[in-house]
Chain A
Amino acid sequence: MPDDYSYINTRVRIMRTKLLDGRALDSALASGSYAEFLRVLTETDLAANLRETTGEGAGLGELDKALSRNFYDTSQRVLGFADGDAKREIQTLLMKWDLVNLKTVARGIAGNRGVEAIQGGLIEGGTLKPAALQAAAASTDLPSAAAAIAVSGHPLAKAMRDGAAAYSSSNRLLDLEVALDQGYYRYALGVSRNTSLRRYLTREIDVTNALIARTQKGQTLDPSLFVAGGSLDAAGYSRLAGGDAGGNSDIAAILEAPSLEEAEVAARGTLDRAARNSSAGDPEGVGIIVDFLRRKEIEIAKLRLIARGKFYDLSTEQIRKEVQA
């Protein structure tokens, strides 16, 4: 398996050509019903994942699973092209799904939801070994779950252990989740060295901090939610509460958005631009992959939106407005 990005990026560039373009999304949008929308999808590369969606009694749940499966399969395929440092860098991008899984396990255990409910909520994406996840889900308490993850040697095991300790002392799930999120960014920044991935992560951290400030508008910012590693320091973060974006127009757009939805649209636009810049500025590095995975995520999100619109029989204009947001 080659450890250089020229090979990986060649493969990823080919995969990028198979992403649904504007015309394909338009024909999906123009479909007159949910059934017709599914038929349009079966004419694309997504067809292989859509078998369950047309069965009797199948609905949005089946389509959501199919689309998620397509996304996770695609990301695993990209990961399969890589080795060494490149693999570690790509893994950091997929660890977002590990975070979701670890939070699901933690929430399930803390809320006494039972093994079945936890296992039913786990997703098949990410880099955690399924056996480790199953063992963690079957644990009776959080320290045991953290120990089960640690056995797998996963990079987020330490964050999970810290989170479990934080939960034990405060009994607040929020502390555990924040420890996991902070641990993820610490690890990702450490792995990303001085590459376009680091620049993208820096941007993502800025957007995250700005979105937290926008969400908590009118309240005192919780300093424990500050994610270090972006262009802002802790003092800059606390100034976000007063609307001071520190001269950063992207952060200002998020802070000044009249609603949370519009703040998210601004945040999404910033991240899309950051991913495209990564790709353009780092054609021989991880930037192409950052951009591809971002595009794939957006493609799946847009298909979910169109599917929901068609399923609930919304007007094409309404769906288009939401998709273009």
Chain B
Amino acid sequence: MAGQISPTRSAMLASKASLKTAQSGADLLKRKRDALIGEFFALVKDALAAREELSGVSTGAYTSLFGAKAWDTPEAVESLSLAGSGDYSIDMQIDNLYGVKVPRIEIPERDKTTTFSPINVGARTIQAATDFGGVMDGIVKVAATETKLRRIGEEIKKTSRRVNALEQVLIPGIQDDIRFIRSVLDQREREASFTLKKIKAKLEADAKKDKELLQAKNHGSAAD
């Protein structure tokens, strides 16, 4: 970098301005990273709770299914799975969290009316169907929190990389440039001062010589 930069005073001023911008950028990014880390840890609690809830409802649902398949026959239970359309709609909005786009998912109120006839269907099967409705809600909740968590995590990583790039590469590079420009300018200044001194000495020597010549000339005419 230092090799490509022209060692002028204006380049040094520009480098100093860049250094200031980079330092304030790094500072801002660090603050963003800290805020995101705060959000991340707050969300980890929610994500763990959602996972735990899902695990609880899943255990219950699979226990119900276990009993339903045994008492009501696997064929009758599996037949019910053909009935649903498989559609599950959710209300999703995108929130902006420190510049990170994260999803906000609203879990819809579950329709409690059965889509199949409860006549000739065992209570275990009905219970299993209800419980698996809860599992669907749990999965959506986990997906919402974990997607948010992943996005924030990725942004923390990205921000850390940017901070590192600024602190480890860009800022030291600009500082090198400034040092290089400063040393070149100092060197030039020293050279200029040496040249001036030389000129001054030469001028002084010339002046002295002229003066001596003039004195010698005056002395000769007085003797005549």
Contact = CB atoms under 8 A, between A and B. Distances in A.
A99 B120 CA distance: 9
Contacts, number: 104
Pick from B80, B115, B116, B117 the residue with the most CB of A within 10 Å.
B117
Interface in A130-175: 172-174
A295 to B, nearest CB: 14
B116 A123 contact: no
Nearest to B127: A260
A263 B76 CA distance: 20
A117 B79 CA distance: 10
A107 B80 contact: yes
Nearest to A109: B82
B68 to A, nearest CB: 10
Contacts of B117: 103, 174, 177-178, 180-181, 225
Given A100-B75, A208-B119, A260 B124 contact: yes
B123 interface: yes
Closest 10 CB pairs of A and B: A177-B117, A264-B123, A181-B119, A304-B70, A107-B82, A107-B83, A104-B79, A305-B70, A260-B123, A123-B75
Given A100-B75, A177-B116, A178-B119, A215 B126 contact: yes
B119 A264 contact: no
B119 A68 contact: no
B119 to A, nearest CB: 4
Interface in A270-315: 301-302, 304-305, 308, 312
Interface residues of B, number: 30
Contacts of B115: 172-174
Interface string A22-66: 000000000000000000000000000000000000000100100
A182 B120 CA distance: 10
Contacts of B118: 211-212, 215-216, 225
Contact of A211 (B64, B76, B78, B123): B123
A264 B67 CA distance: 11
Contacts of A312: 66
A28 B179 CA distance: 86
Interface in A216-248: 216, 219, 225, 227
Interface in B22-72: 64, 66-67, 69-71
7 contacts: A104-B82, A111-B82, A121-B75, A215-B123, A216-B118, A261-B123, A301-B71
